[in-house]
Structure formats: C-alpha cells, structure tokens
Structure 1
Amino acid sequence: MPGVTSTEPQPQLLFVDGSFEDLAREMAEYLKAEEAKQLLSGDKEADKEEVLSKLVAASSALSTVPEKEFTAASNLMIHLAMQSSDPKKLLPTLCANLSKPLIGSPVHGAGLALNALVTVFNLLEPNDPVRARVFQQILKFLKAHGMFDGLRGYLDKLPEWIESWGTDAAMERKIYEDVAEVALESGEEKSWYADDEFLFSTAYEFILKALRTFDGEETTSEDAQRLSLRALKMAIASNSHYLFQDLRAIPSVQALSDSHPVYSQLLDIFAEQDLEDYNDFNDEHKGWIEEQKLDGEKLHRKMRLLTFASLAAATPSREVEYAKITKALQIPQEEIEIWAIDVIRAGLVEGKLSQQRQMFLVHKVTYRVFGQKQYQELATRVDHWRSTLQNVLGVLQQEQANAKAAKLREAQEIERKLANASAGGHEGGRRRQQQRERTDNDD
C-alpha cells in the first residue's frame, strides 16, 4: 500500500486541472454516463451532488477501459468524488467499482486496481472514519486476489490507525478478522509460499486481536464463540504452534467450556496434559475427531512432541532415561532419535542424545504452562542445583586445601634442603681448613 506510511496528513496525490463542470463533463463522456451528461447539458447550473452520484454509479465502466488509460481515468473519477460535500456517501460504491477486475489487463489489472483503492485511502485525512470503510474494501480486494504482500508491511500500524479512526469494537473486530482472512486465503492459494508459517501466525495473531475486542456478556455471544472455536482449531492444527496459554486466557475461549465442552477439554489436553490423556480422550469420544474433520494423525504426532517437552521440563537432573521416553511417547526405543530430532526442530527442547548412557541430556526446555506445578518443579530443580553446587564447592574447597598443604610441604622441603646444603658447606669448609693447617704443620 504505497504512501500509507504514517498518521500525519497525506499530500494530495492527484494533480487535476480544470473546473468541476469541465472535468465532470469529460468524465461523463468517457464513461458514457448519459444521465450525468443530461444534467450537465442544461442551461442552469447542475446540482453537483446529483452529478457525482450519476458519475459514481457509472464508474463500473472503468473495468472495461484500456490498461494504459485506467490510472488517469480512475484518478479523475476519484478527484471528482472527493469534491463532494459528503464523500463517504459515494466512496463505498466507487471503491466497489474500482475493485472489479480490469478486463483488458489480466496481468497488471489487479495491481492497477489496488493502486486506485490506495489512492482513495491516502486522500482521506488520517483520522477520517471513512478510511476504515475504504480499508475494509482494500482487504476484501486483497483477499480475492491472494495479495497478502500488499498488506504485510503495514500491519504494525493498524492498531494506531484504528484508534485514530475512532471505530467501535464491532468494526475493529471485523477489520482484524478480515486481515486474518487475507493471510489465510493467500496461504491456501500459494501452497508453495515460503512464508506459509508467517501467514498462519499473522492470521492467528489477528484472530486473537479480534477475540480480545469482546467484552462482558459479548464473550458468550454466537459470534464470539464462532471466532473462539476457529482460533482453537487453528492453534491445535498448526505445525508450528505449541503454546496455548495466550488462547486460554481469553474470556470468550474460556466460555467454550459451556458452549463446546469437548473442544474445551481438547484444548486443556494440548495446553498442559500428555499423550496418555489424549488417548483417554479419544477412547471417551470415539469417532469425534473424525466427525469434526480434524487430522487425527497430525494431532497425535503433536501430542507426542508436547509430551516429550513436558517430560524434559519435569526432570530435575536434566537427564531423561530412554525408558521414560519410550513409555511416555509410546514408541519403540529405536525411534527415540527421530522424535528427539523432531522436538528439537519444533523449538520445544534443546539437548542431545547419549547412546552410551541411554539418556537424553536436556540443555533448554520450553514450559507449556507455568503454574503451581511448574513452580514446584522449578523449586525441586533449584534444590538439586544447589545440592550439586554445594558438592562441587566442597570438592573445590578440599582440593584448594590439599593444594595449599602440598605447596606448604614443598616449601618446607625446599627450605630443609637449603638448610642441609648450607650446613654441609660449612662443615666441608671447616674440614678443608683443618687439612691445610695440618699440611702447614708438617712443613
């Protein structure tokens, strides 16, 4: 969306010269808008608002103009519509007409139409509430054409824009949900898309933003429950989403325990329980996963990864025996390496396998939840670390004392040897002196 870069007043992007009557007459001729032409051909001055209404109604013909003429023609039509005393009455129809596929430009038509819509958006004052309606039209267009790239650079500005437009909660929610739809639609149309996980995370993020606009009794409304259920399904089905506390904290999602208790139970399992609990769930609700058109194989695999993460997080020693892994994940021992690679790749755990010790050595782990149980586990781990450090400190202190004693003994030994050497030197000198005296006496 070129030009939409701040909430400061935007410069006028259209440079059109001429009186309203002349430009309107030119536009009416170009669009073959007979009713507008008749209004402008009379002797008396035509009613501007009526003329604009007729021109905007005829602007659907812009989709049939040659590609090289579209930008100039659409700019003139936009300029005229903005001359209205109340443009918001005309812009919805004009934007809808500008969004129609350009028949003569199958390759560049979508881009040209998007530029026209963005021009309308940029010509409005930053705090004009009409901007919200135009933005919705842009989102609708981007969704229809799978053009998420035209939006991604401006998502961070959206909350600021929405606040400046003064939209109500319902409009804010609709915009957020529309953004999610654009991302999801682009992901479905471009299965090869390199950023498909980015598209999912963006869609999920804006679904959560939409859910947070529900307040009070609205959280149990049909719309709130529909959107909450959608977010839940997205979260558990994702190949990259493993933490669910942000979702569970939303009041409308909590209300699913009454409206959709089985889904709520499933969310609890994925949030903090293990594979055994998931298997019990399937036994209790036989065929339910298939009835809901959920991918049972994918969910089962995800629960194994989450179980591996919980097992690693609950181990104070940071060493997980192979036997515990095979039992918790319900896999043969020869598959441990595969699952260890997968859980590391998922970003849930960092560590390595020790084939010699038959252990998985945990370096770092992501906590799925952090409540009373996790605080207790952390306290246990801290106590274990404290005990280990005290043992290490004791060993170091003993080694330090041993080294000090050895050094003292070495110094004492050197001192003794020096003393002996000195004493030996004096005795040798005395003997040599006595020998010389005897020799002198003999002479």
Structure 2
Amino acid sequence: MFLPKICAFLAKPMPSSPLHGPSIALSILATIFNTLDADDSSRYHVFLAIMAVIRSTSSALAFEALKTQLSNQLPGWIESWDLDEEETQKLHMSISDAARAAGDAELSYHHLIQALHAIPPAEAASTQAREMAVRSLTTALSLPFVFDFTPLTSSDAVQNLRSTDASLFELLELFSTDDLDAYEDFVKENPISSISALASVKTISPATTTSSASSEAPSVETILQTKMRLLTLASLAAKAPSRSLPYNDIAAALRIEREDVEKWVIDTIRAGLVEGKLSQLKGEFLVHRATYRVFGERQWGEVQGRLMVWKQSLLNVLEVIRSEKEKFKEAASAAAAPTQGSAEADRFSFGGGRGGGERRRGGHQSHQHQARDMELVAGGD
C-alpha cells in the first residue's frame, strides 16, 4: 500500500545528500526489488523508480550494470507482472529515457519503438499516440545508425501522421523507398528547418566514418543527407542485375566525386547495408549482398527474375554435361571397335584348323630347305 509512495519519494533527488543520494536511493530500491517475489506486481513500481533515478542522475555506470538483466529478464518480468498495454508502454518509455540519459542511444531507440508498438490500435489517433509517433519518427531519422524504417511504417500511430504531420510522414516515405534525387527535390520544397519536430532534435556524434572525419555532433540536415546517400547506394546494389556497380554510376547517383566513391562504399559496408569487394583495377564494386529497404511486389519480381536466370544457368550446365557424356560414350565406342575387329581376326586365323597348321609347317620346311642350300654353298667354297 505504501510502496508506491516510498518509490516516488526515493525517485526524487535528495537535497540533504546531493552527492551520495542517488547511490543510496538505488541501493534501497534494489534491495526492495530483490526482496519482493518474482511475480509480485509491486516490482513494477520499484523498477520504474529505479529507472527514474538513473534518468535524473544520468548515471551511465548504474545503467550499464542493469543492461544484462534487461536483455535477459525483462520479457519474463513483463509476463509475470501481467501488465496491460498502458503499463507496458510506460515501462518501455522509462527504460528509453534512462538509456538516453545514460548515453545509450541504440537501446533507448529500441525501447522507444517497443513503447510505440504498445499503443492499442483504438488509441492510435489520440494526442498521446501522436506525440509518441512524432518522437519515434524524428529519433529514427536523426540517429546515424537507424536505416530500417519498417517498425515505423507498420505502426498505426505513425500512419496517422499522414494527416496531422504530412511533411514529416512524407520524409519517412522517402527514407523507406526513395533515393537521393527524390530527397533533394523534397528538401527544396520543404527545408528541414521548416519541420519543427526535426529542427529541434538534438543529434549525437556518429561513429567514425571515412566520409566524415569530424567528431562533433552534425546537424540534422547533414545526418539525413548522409543516410540517404548510404541508402541510395544500398538500393543501387540491390538492383544491380550483374552484381557489379561501376564507380561512375555510384558517383552519379550519390552526387559525389569519383575519387570519393570508395569512402562511401566502405561506410555503406560498415552500416551493414551491403557486402562486397572493391576493384580499383576495374573501377567497380562487386556486390556480394545488399539489403532491400522494402520488400514488396517489385522486389518479389526481382527475386523471381534472378531465380529464372539461375534456373536457366543450371539448365545450360546440365545440357553441357549431357553433351559431354554423349561425346564420351561415342569416343569410348569408337575406341572399342578396332580392338574388337582385331580379336575377331585372330579367331579367324586360328580357326583355319589343319590348313593353317599345314601352312605353318610348310613354311617351316621351306625355311629348313633354305638353310640346307646355304650350307651346300658354303661347303662348295
């Protein structure tokens, strides 16, 4: 009965001990959490209080200690606490906020999406759902490492932005399916600074890349353009019929200098969008794997086309094998024919019976007569 009040009190900063207060509060809350039974729903309120303390203090160390438990035990906790959709959403939001305060942008985004999908379809058009959808979408667009927008397009709350935040939703569609040319055409008509939800986003410093050596947090415009270039290259690789992309084609599509192509290809590989090998000698990128940004009817058609090509290639290989097999049989038969004829000739000769024997004996006698004549001649000398 008094536990929620205690948790709320401990979640607030302690004026009497600003330095050690957070660690004391976390220690007390952790003790309470561990004392309660695993299926006790009161653990839910204690957990929210722990996340609130971490969020208010930006304690990266404390959050890091909890990450393993979150990945391993959180699904079981949610099930045992028997949370409804609203409570589940609140839980994921508390983790997202704590992770963001602790500097873990990737985990923060993950739980933000989980909270978004916890919104009931019946409430997808509510004001709270719109705020959640806008936050999720702007976060996804502004984070340098987010390239998969399927979790957003599959959300009813995000789909409702089509009517309430048309420019922001159109930007989502561009990053889901289109290329750099379409994006730059959009920016000419709708500058990023005019989209208030995006203009106010605080960006983070991206991981080290070859195309940009700056360690400072870039602007939203820079992040969006960089991501669109990487996505455009991924789409080019996925559509390449021969699995080979000339440097000139990449430079034209990304609107960059030819000497910068390899840097952008390496960044796209690091982003996990493509796999392949650069050939400086041929001036081309050999594609081993490419990520499809969307997978619809057109993509199924491309897969069907490639399967037909592979099928025809296999049929050609089988035809070559059959042809070589027939040639081998014919050659073997031709080689066996003279040998068979020779054997038959031998049998015919030996089948001569006595005549053959007489010929042999006669030949032997003739040879003996010749020998005598030679002896007589020799004796006469």
Cross-structure match for 2:52? 140
CA contact (8 A) 1:317 1:384 kept: no
Q: Are 1:348 and 2:348 counterparts?
A: no
Matched pairs, number: 344
Matched to 2:286, the amino acid is: L
Partner of 2:145, secondary structure, is coil
Cross-structure match for 1:116? 28
Cross-structure match for 1:100? 14
Q: Are 1:264 and 2:176 counterparts?
A: no
C-alpha distance 266-406 of structure 1, shift in aligned 2 (>3 A): same
Indicate which of 234, 238, 251 corresponds to 1:313. Answer: 238
Cross-structure match for 2:184? 279
Range that drifts further, 168-177 or 157-166: 157-166
Partner of 1:361, secondary structure, is strand
What CA distance in whole angstroms lies between the structure 1 residues aligned with 2:280 and 2:177? 29
For residues 33-432 of structure 1, the aligned pairs below 5 Å read: 86-88=1-3, 90-92=5-7, 95-96=10-11, 100=14, 103=17, 110-143=22-55, 144=57, 145-146=59-60, 147-156=62-71, 157-187=73-103, 199-286=104-191, 288=193, 292-293=198-199, 295-412=220-337
C-alpha distance 213-391 of structure 1, shift in aligned 2 (>3 A): same
C-alpha distance 94-275 of structure 1, shift in aligned 2 (>3 A): closer
CA contact (8 A) 2:251 2:257 kept: yes
Query: Which runs of 5 or more structure 1 residues have no equivalent in the other structure?
Result: 1-85, 188-198
C-alpha distance 200-398 of structure 1, shift in aligned 2 (>3 A): farther
What CA distance in whole angstroms lies between the structure 1 residues aligned with 2:194 and 2:339? 83
Matched to 2:66, the amino acid is: L
C-alpha distance 413-349 of structure 1, shift in aligned 2 (>3 A): farther
Matched to 2:328, the amino acid is: A
What CA distance in whole angstroms lies between the structure 2 residues aligned with 1:93 and 1:254? 36
Deviation at 1:430, TM superposition (A): 9.4
Partner of 2:286, secondary structure, is strand
Query: Which runs of 5 or more structure 2 residues have no equivalent in the other structure?
Result: 200-218, 373-381
CA contact (8 A) 1:228 1:253 kept: yes
What is the alpha-carbon root mean square deviation over aligned residues?
Answer: 3.3
TM-score normalised according to structure 1 size: 0.68
Deviation track 1:114-148 (CA, whole Å, cap 9, x = no partner) reads 22111112223334333222211110112222331
Q: Are 1:438 and 2:362 counterparts?
A: no
Q: Percent identity?
A: 34
CA contact (8 A) 1:316 1:384 kept: no
Deviation track 1:338-394 (CA, whole Å, cap 9, x = no partner) reads 222222221111122344554432221211111111111111212222222222322
C-alpha distance 413-361 of structure 1, shift in aligned 2 (>3 A): farther
CA contact (8 A) 1:101 1:113 kept: no
CA contact (8 A) 1:180 1:207 kept: yes
TM-score normalised according to structure 2 size: 0.78
